[in-house]
Amino acid sequence: MLREAVLLPSFGVTMGFIASGVILCGVILAIAYLSAGWIAAQGKKQLFLVGFLWLAATLAFEFSFGLLRGLSLSEILSAYTFANGNLWPFVLILTFFAPILTSRPGRRATR
């Protein structure tokens, strides 16, 4: 909603998508960092598993929501390009790696 209501009208399509992607990346990293203690992963494998589950949940939501809105598969997949400054593919990669990137040094996985 922030992107559609504020960022795109204020900055234009390309800069609005870039700003939206950067903000979303910051939110994902903050959530990953703040939830590290709650997740309490024991090693790198578990951190990667958490990232995989976050990515799978995100993709399941995106595709389900898009299909429920009546979008075609090609319309949904069009969001997975870097066209017009869209950072969504990078956001998905960051979602996968966020748990390992933000694991706290005292609990950094060694396996």
Which string of DSSP letters, residue by residue, matches 13-31? HHHHHHHHHHHHHHHHHHH
Give the mean pLDDT of 55-60: 98
pTM of the entire structure? 0.85
Structure tokens at 90: 């990078």
Region of residue 12 (left: phi > 0; alpha: psi -120 to 50; beta: else): left
- What distance in Å separates the CA atoms of residue 12 and residue 84, rounded to the nearest whole number? 10
Q: Which amino acid is at 99?
A: P
Give the mean pLDDT of 19-34: 95
Which string of DSSP letters, residue by residue, matches 75-95? HHHGGGS-GGG--HHHHHHHH
pLDDT tens-digit series, residues 74-102: 999 998 999 989 999 999 999 999 999 99
pLDDT surpassing 70 at residue 9: yes
Query: Tell me, what's the pLDDT at 91?
Result: 96
